[in-house]
């Protein structure tokens, strides 16, 4: 850890203007993991502070504390120099904090205008909601964002990128002094990013303090003044961007040189295992084709909302494609349900392991044996010994850390939960494994372990599809990369052609 | 897509009109203004209870105790009227609303403070409240001759051809419309049911919103209790038996989603009227009233199926040409 | 950080220590203690309580409802509910009554009763599993529909003519004080316990209730399992209809009115979470005894039925509230 970069950001853009918001010694502890450890940050008016860190470094937790969703276990928050406690989300809003969250948390059944103004709708003289003003002000906000979305339509009819714009409009509609943006550009095209930055600069002029969370360096250098680097829940470095070269920040982020993070083993790649031709879905993706060969790792890259997970879920049978052909080992097959997929040897490790991959209250061994009950049981009757044996085998193989196989899987750390999901599928002896953001929300140390393991699987002859939005991961691990943009294929890149610029250009469609 | 909601209400309205037209071919005076006013009048109580239920359902809850609440509160004020005939009617009505609201508050408190699922809470209070009605009355009935003339006559008094009972229904409908559309509570109710997580992020106190919804439901049940015992001129333990399910049925038919967050006052009213028209029509067109239950049931199933088709998760819309079209720049105000 | 290939073998134990403490603190034990208390209270309150035949009579209070509750428990664990069970009893009973008028003998009547239950279960199952409709409102609808059909058939009349041997199910005894219904109840308890706790199917039911996304993503045929569960509740309602009709010796469209809520109460009282994913058959058995003891004991004290339901309602809310309050108090005192 480089002590030279531990200085706190003292000089703000507006001279000696004191910090609007300060966090001192904030710690947040969850069962099994310390999400934040003694973090201290200051946000100054008219300044954009970039919060940089890998997934799982603690950024989202910090946001939740600032917006009143979580209460910190230790430490204090000061607004204008006075200590405050955010007893609820409303308290944070009243204190002048607004946030654009990474995953849009909005209401499908309400209109765009209602979503933007929920909680602070314009009122008439009689304190009733003034719909007309609300709609026109919503329209004005959206126009300022250079969008033509009709404020009276319901949110569920919008695309993901459009919903994100509505979230941004909402954050702007609250007259806040502190604006938090958590990966705001994840789903935006270059032009939309330019518009967003224009707005951010406008907010700076107005003297607002902006916390800009991102792990995309070019954007950070473009828009932010100061930076804070998080790693494993700690603020490991702060300073002014102008004075700090990028590789110093990268080193702070990762704690070591980037090269070792992706232990890719060179594998002899065999013949085609899975051939997808012209796969299309009604609303989510169209005309996707690729071939997956044995021992190969095919990365799928794209922005949030590009349709990668949707494609993966369709391949696994969760949703039905509208049209398209799938050939497995030379034979045409149709997958209409997850059972079909599993029987064919195609398995899916979901992006949201808590929501889609595991029954959190159920014990580890029960989660692991779920798709394999036919094998561990006899004539439909459960056999505990067989189940524990299977769970033990894969727990050892994956180096699982847990108190016992009978504890609820929800008590494990993110990395270990991921191991349970992977173990569950390995037990079915699959041919193709689709991994959706396999290291999302996992700390750096476990990431390398997961990557190493994925490489081993490929070496053993499995074919792997890996969906990821992290460039280093995709570039480091993949033999080839399919890029998706807004539901369409933007090209397949061979390993030699892989570079961050080429992939980003294809994913955002900008030169 | 506010158009879509309106489309469902107009569809329901059209169905009701068609039904009335069909029935009037079998019974000549079915579609007369007097008869239609009578049907509306008869359905007023159900409309009020359905609006009560709607508020609760919007917040992703359910209130199975509304009818039991009505029974207890109705018995209480009927007994008060019988024992103290000099008590002004206004006071009795106020008492009914307050008692109903208190019973609703008990439900709300259990849901809010103890976070017990609403179906369990109201399952319990449904039997408790009805049992309390028995304990209060000792099993005795309060009959018409024990009630004061004022008590009985007010809801029956016709104004412009519609009895006061019907007017009360209209007033409540208008009040609920304003409440749900124009107040913060209304927005909070829709948000709490539509996406509880997002509601919390938006600063809404979802537990308090649910509490208020139950209090409101209880208050409306209390008001309805006076209207009931007065209209039917009797109070006993089993009154309004099964009405809680009718109120849910009216909501479902009216397009209220049981998952919360979706629905309109117009829909609820039309749903209640739909049931009311059927109930009134059956004896008139010569179908045994015993068929009413089965018809209600079939209608509910159809309504739910229709609701579900509308609500089906369309998946995330990613392809730009499949998303809602953006407004053309020329049309911008 | 160690990579996967080179490491000391980390041995994870199968289970943590003895489950003794966890068992002691479980719902079932708590409920059992309540049952014992009620038993003691009842025997002190009335001299008629501790009589073998009286106790046997008491079992009729709950056996029929409990049979349905077993199936309902599985359904609730999977995250659904069936409010039409009492209406299915009515329809099955009406069908049997109509058949009895036509002179059909007891075996045929039983087949018709259970068959009607099965048909209703299929109807519910199709609506919920195939059409993917929410079970709570769907079964409110089928509840009206099924009972409504009974009303159409019977109006305000009743069927009373049943063959003599038909009365065995509801009124007969297998050995000594143990009635057929009670023995059937025990047998079904054992069968359902095995189904839920020892088979793949039962594991799938728990998984669906805990997280039906994850269950689906793990290849479990969620719709098929739920369909079967609705079939089970339908069939059990049919079985209960046979027993109840046989016991009463007559059929009215209002038969078993309000039973759906008592069955759900029995399930929730038995520790099955209404949100799905947890609970045991043992809990339901104890809850059945508790409800039976309460109603029987109060009956001996000449408490009217409707006041009894106050006790049941209070019991339901208090037993759910106590663990929640206890947890809050513990949380607050540890701060």
Q: Which residues of A touch B1 (CB under 8 A)?
A: 111, 153-154, 156-157
Chain C within 8 Å of B258 (Cβ-Cβ)?
Answer: yes
- Enter the DSSP assignment of A75: E
Select from B252, B288, B295 the Cβ nearest to the Cβ of C137: B252
Strands B158-159 and B162-163: antiparallel
Work out the average pLDDT over A85-94: 87
Could you give the angle at the alpha carbon of C86 between the alpha carbons of C80 and C90, nearest 5°? 140
Of A14-18, A311-315, C290-294, the least confident: A14-18
Nearest-CA residue of chain B relative to A128? Answer: B182
pLDDT value at residue A247 = 75
In whole angstroms, how far apart are CA A17 and each of A39, A82, A94, C226? 22, 15, 22, 63
Share of chain C above pLDDT 70, in %: 94
Inter-chain touch C207–A381, beta carbons under 8 Å: no
Question: Among the ranges A210-219, A454-463, C41-50, C315-324, which has the highest mean pLDDT value?
Answer: A454-463
Strands A48-52 and A226-231: parallel
Query: For all residues of chain B together, what is the average pLDDT?
Result: 87
Chain C within 8 Å of B288 (Cβ-Cβ)?
Answer: yes
Inter-chain touch B295–C314, beta carbons under 8 Å: no
Chain C within 8 Å of B248 (Cβ-Cβ)?
Answer: yes
Chain A within 8 Å of C110 (Cβ-Cβ)?
Answer: no
Nearest-CA residue of chain C relative to A454? Answer: C4
Domain C53-319 has CATH 1.10.287: no
Chain C within 8 Å of B66 (Cβ-Cβ)?
Answer: no
CA distance B316 to chain A (A): 7
State the fold for domain A257-345+430-511: Rossmann fold (3.40.50)
Inter-chain touch C134–B127, beta carbons under 8 Å: no
The string of pLDDT tens digits covering residues C306-331 is 888 888 888 888 878 887 888 788 87
Chain B within 8 Å of A71 (Cβ-Cβ)?
Answer: no
Q: Is the pLDDT of residue A475 over 90?
A: no
Question: In degrees rounded to 5, what are phi and psi of residue C178?
Answer: -85, 110
Work out the average pLDDT over A336-361: 90
Inter-chain touch C215–A342, beta carbons under 8 Å: no
Q: pLDDT grade, residue A345 (50/70/90)? A: very high
pLDDT value at residue A124 = 84
Q: Which residues of C touch A446 (CB under 8 A)?
A: 1
Select from C151, C261, C321 the Cβ nearest to the Cβ of B123: C261
Nearest-CA residue of chain B relative to A99? Answer: B201
Inter-chain touch A338–C9, beta carbons under 8 Å: no
Of residues A123 and C241, more confidence is placed in C241
pLDDT value at residue A511 = 40
Residue A8's CB is within 10 A of a number of other CB atoms, namely 14
The string of pLDDT tens digits covering residues A161-181 is 788 788 888 888 887 889 999
Domain boundaries, chain A: 1-96+178-187+209-255, 257-345+430-511, 358-429
Of A370-384, B116-130, C41-55, the least confident: C41-55
pLDDT value at residue A101 = 80
- Please spell the DSSP secondary structure of C19-38, one letter per residue: THHHHHTSHHHHHHHHHHHH
Domain boundaries, chain C: 53-319
Q: Is residue B206 part of a domain?
A: yes
Q: Is the pLDDT of residue B272 over 60?
A: yes
Chains that touch C (3 or more CB pairs under 8 A): A, B
Q: Is the pLDDT of residue C256 over 80?
A: yes
pLDDT value at residue B34 = 85
Q: How far apart are CA B66 and CA B213, in angstroms?
A: 12
The string of pLDDT tens digits covering residues C17-46 is 666 666 666 788 888 888 898 888 888 887
Window 405-434 of A, Cβ < 8 Å to C: 405-407, 424
Q: Is the pLDDT of residue A259 over 50?
A: no
Task: At A83, list the tokens.
Answer: 């200590």
Q: Which residues of B touch A147 (CB under 8 A)?
A: 326
Chain B within 8 Å of C272 (Cβ-Cβ)?
Answer: no
Q: Which residues of C touch B291 (CB under 8 A)?
A: 148, 151-152
Inter-chain touch C141–B132, beta carbons under 8 Å: no
The string of pLDDT tens digits covering residues A107-141 is 888 999 999 998 888 888 888 888 999 999 999 98
pLDDT value at residue B70 = 96
Nearest-CA residue of chain B relative to C260? Answer: B123
Q: HSE (CB half, 13 Å, CA atoms) of A17?
A: 14
Inter-chain touch B294–C304, beta carbons under 8 Å: no
Helix H segments across A206-290? Answer: 217-223, 246-254
Mutate to test the interface with C, among B293, B302, B309 (most CBs of C within 10 A): B293
pLDDT value at residue C22 = 63
Q: Is the pLDDT of residue C208 over 90?
A: yes
Tell me what ipTM this predicted complex has.
0.85
Q: Is the pLDDT of residue C239 over 50?
A: yes
Q: What is the pTM of this model?
A: 0.85
Q: Which residues of A167-176 are buried (b: 16+ CB within 10 A; e: fewer)?
A: bbbbbbbbeb
pLDDT value at residue C18 = 65
Chain C within 8 Å of B297 (Cβ-Cβ)?
Answer: yes
pLDDT value at residue A13 = 42
Strand segments (E) across chain C: 173-175, 178-179
By C-alpha distance, which of B162, B159, B168 is closest to B93? Answer: B168
By C-alpha distance, which of A306, A364, A375, A310 is closest to A342? Answer: A375
pLDDT value at residue A261 = 55
Inter-chain touch A284–B191, beta carbons under 8 Å: no
- Enter the DSSP assignment of A183: S
Q: Is residue B318 part of a domain?
A: no
Q: pLDDT grade, residue B63 (50/70/90)? A: very high
Select from A128, A162, A306 the Cβ nearest to the Cβ of B323: A162
Q: How far apart are CA C91 and CA C74, in angstroms?
A: 23
CA distance B212 to chain A (A): 17
Q: pLDDT grade, residue A443 (50/70/90)? A: low
CATH superfamily of this structure's domain A1-96+178-187+209-255: P-loop containing nucleotide triphosphate hydrolases (3.40.50.300)
* Length reported for chain B: 333
Q: Which residue has the tokens 């199936």?
A: C71
Count up the domains in chain B and report the number.
1
Range of the domain at B163: 2-13+40-309
pLDDT value at residue B221 = 97
Which helix (DSSP H) or strand (DSSP E) does residue B116 occupy? none
Query: For all residues of chain A together, what is the average pLDDT?
Result: 84
Select from C138, C317, C324 the Cβ nearest to the Cβ of B301: C138
Chain B within 8 Å of A328 (Cβ-Cβ)?
Answer: no
């Amino acid at each position: 850890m480089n002590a030279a970069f531990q200085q706190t950001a003292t000089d703000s853009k507006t001279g000696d203007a004191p910090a609007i918001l300060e966090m001192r010694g904030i710690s947040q502890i969850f069962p099994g993991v310390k999400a934040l450890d003694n973090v201290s940050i200051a946000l100054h008016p008219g300044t954009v502070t970039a919060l940089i860190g890998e997934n799982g470094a603690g950024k989202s937790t910090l946001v939740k504390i600032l917006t009143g969703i979580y209460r910190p276990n230790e430490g204090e928050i000061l607004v204008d120099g006075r200590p405050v406690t955010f007893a609820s989300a409303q308290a944070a809003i009243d204190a002048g904090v607004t946030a654009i969250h990474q995953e849009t948390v909005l209401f499908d059944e309400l209109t765009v205008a209602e979503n933007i103004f929920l909680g602070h709708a314009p009122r008439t003289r009689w304190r009733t909601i003034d719909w007309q003003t609300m709609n026109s002000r919503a329209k004005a906000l959206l126009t300022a964002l250079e969008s033509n979305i009709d404020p009276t339509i319901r949110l569920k009819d919008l695309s993901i990128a459009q919903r994100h714009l509505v979230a941004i409009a909402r954050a702007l509609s609250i007259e806040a002094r502190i604006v938090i943006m958590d990966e705001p550009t994840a789903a935006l095209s270059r032009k939309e990013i330019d518009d967003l930055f224009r707005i951010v600069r406008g907010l700076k002029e107005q003297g607002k303090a902006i916390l800009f969370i991102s792990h995309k360096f070019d954007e950070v250098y473009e828009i932010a003044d100061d930076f804070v680097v998080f790693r494993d829940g700690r603020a490991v470095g702060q300073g002014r961007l102008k004075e700090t070269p990028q590789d110093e920040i990268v080193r702070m982020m990762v704690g070591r040189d980037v090269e070792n993070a992706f232990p890719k083993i060179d594998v002899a790649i065999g013949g085609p295992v899975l051939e997808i031709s012209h796969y299309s879905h009604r609303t989510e993706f169209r005309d996707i084709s690729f071939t997956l060969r044995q021992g190969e790792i095919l990365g799928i890259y794209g922005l949030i909302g590009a349709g990668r997970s949707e494609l993966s879920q369709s391949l696994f049978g969760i949703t039905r494609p509208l049209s398209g052909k799938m050939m497995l080992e030379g034979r045409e097959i149709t997958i209409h349900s997850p059972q079909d997929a599993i029987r064919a040897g195609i398995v899916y490790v979901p992006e949201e392991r808590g929501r889609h991959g595991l029954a959190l209250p159920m014990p580890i061994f029960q989660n692991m044996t779920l798709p394999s009950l036919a094998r561990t049981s006899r004539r439909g009757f459960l056999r505990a010994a067989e189940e524990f044996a299977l769970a033990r085998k894969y727990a050892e193989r994956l180096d699982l850390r847990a108190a016992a196989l009978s504890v609820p899987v929800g008590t494990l750390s993110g990395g270990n939960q991921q191991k349970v999901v992977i173990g569950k599928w390995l037990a079915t002896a699959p041919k193709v494994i689709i991994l959706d953001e396999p290291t999302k929300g996992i700390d750096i140390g476990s990431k390398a372990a997961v990557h190493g393991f994925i490489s081993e699987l490929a070496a053993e002859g499995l074919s792997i599809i890996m969906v990821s939005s992290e460039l280093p991961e995709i570039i480091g691990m993949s033999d080839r990369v399919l890029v998706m943009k807004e539901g369409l294929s933007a090209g397949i890149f061979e390993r030699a052609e892989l570079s961050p610029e080429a992939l980003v250009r294809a994913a955002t469609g900008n030169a | 897509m506010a158009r879509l909601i309106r489309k469902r209400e107009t569809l329901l309205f059209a169905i009701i009109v068609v039904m009335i037209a069909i029935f009037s071919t079998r019974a000549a005076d079915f579609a007369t203004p007097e008869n239609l006013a009578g049907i509306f009048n008869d359905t007023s109580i159900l409309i009020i209870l359905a609006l009560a239920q709607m508020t609760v359902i919007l917040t992703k809850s359910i209130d199975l105790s509304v009818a039991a609440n009505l029974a207890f509160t109705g018995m209480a004020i009927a007994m008060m009227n019988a024992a103290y005939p000099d008590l002004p009617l206004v006071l009795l009505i106020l008492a009914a609303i307050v008692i109903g609201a208190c019973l609703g508050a008990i439900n709300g408190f259990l849901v809010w403070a103890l976070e017990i699922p609403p179906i369990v809470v109201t399952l319990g209070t449904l039997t408790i409240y009805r049992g309390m009605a028995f304990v209060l009355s000792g099993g005795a009935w309060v009959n018409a001759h024990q009630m004061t003339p004022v008590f009985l006559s007010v809801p029956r008094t016709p104004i412009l051809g519609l009895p006061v009972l019907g007017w009360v229904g209209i007033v409540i409908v208008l009040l609920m419309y304003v409440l749900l559309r124009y107040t913060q509570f209304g927005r909070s109710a829709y948000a709490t049911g539509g996406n509880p997580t997002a509601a919390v992020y938006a600063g809404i106190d979802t537990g308090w919103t649910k509490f208020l919804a139950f209090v409101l439901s209880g208050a409306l049940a209390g008001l309805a209790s006076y209207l009931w015992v007065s209209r039917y001129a009797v109070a006993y333990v089993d009154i309004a038996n099964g009405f809680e399910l009718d109120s849910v049925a009216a909501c479902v038919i009216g397009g209220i989603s049981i998952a919360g967050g979706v629905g309109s006052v117009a829909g609820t009213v039309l749903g209640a009227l739909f049931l009311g028209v059927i109930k009134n029509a059956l004896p008139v067109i010569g179908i045994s009233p015993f068929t009413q239950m089965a018809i209600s049931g079939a209608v509910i199933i159809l309504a739910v199926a229709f609701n579900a088709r509308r609500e089906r998760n369309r998946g995330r819309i990613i392809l730009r040409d499949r998303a809602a079209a953006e407004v053309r720049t020329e049309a911008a105000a | 950080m160690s990579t996967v290939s080179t490491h000391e073998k980390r041995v994870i134990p199968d289970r943590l220590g003895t489950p003794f403490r966890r068992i002691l603190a479980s719902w079932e034990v708590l409920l059992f203690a309540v049952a014992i208390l009620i038993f003691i209270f009842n025997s002190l309150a009335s001299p008629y309580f501790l009589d073998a035949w009286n106790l046997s009579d008491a079992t009729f209070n709950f056996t029929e409802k409990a049979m349905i509750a077993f199936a309902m428990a599985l359904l609730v664990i999977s995250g659904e509910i069936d409010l039409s069970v009492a209406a299915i009893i009515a329809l099955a009973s009406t069908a049997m009554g109509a058949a009895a008028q036509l002179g059909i003998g007891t075996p045929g009547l039983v087949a018709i009763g259970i068959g009607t239950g099965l048909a209703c279960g299929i109807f519910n199952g199709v609506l919920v599993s195939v059409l993917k409709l929410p079970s709570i409102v769907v079964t409110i609808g089928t509840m009206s529909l099924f009972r409504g059909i009974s009303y159409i058939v019977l109006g305000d009349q009743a069927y009373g003519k049943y063959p003599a041997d038909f009365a065995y199910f509801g009124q007969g005894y297998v050995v000594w004080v143990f009635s057929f219904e009670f023995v059937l109840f025990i047998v079904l308890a054992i069968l359902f316990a095995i189904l839920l706790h020892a088979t793949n199917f039962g594991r799938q039911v728990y998984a669906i209730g805990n997280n039906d996304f994850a269950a689906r993503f793990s290849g479990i045929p969620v719709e098929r399992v739920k369909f079967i569960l609705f079939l089970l509740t339908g069939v059990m309602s049919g079985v209960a209809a046979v027993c109840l009709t046989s016991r009463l010796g007559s059929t009215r469209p209002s038969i078993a009115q309000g039973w759906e809520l008592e069955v759900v109460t029995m399930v929730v009282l038995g520790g099955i979470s209404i949100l799905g994913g947890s609970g045991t058959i043992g809990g339901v058995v104890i809850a059945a005894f508790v409800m039976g003891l309460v109603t029987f004991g109060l009956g001996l004290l000449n408490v009217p039925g409707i006041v009894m339901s106050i006790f049941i309602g209070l019991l339901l809310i208090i037993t759910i509230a106590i663990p929640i309050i206890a947890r809050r108090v513990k949380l607050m005192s540890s701060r």
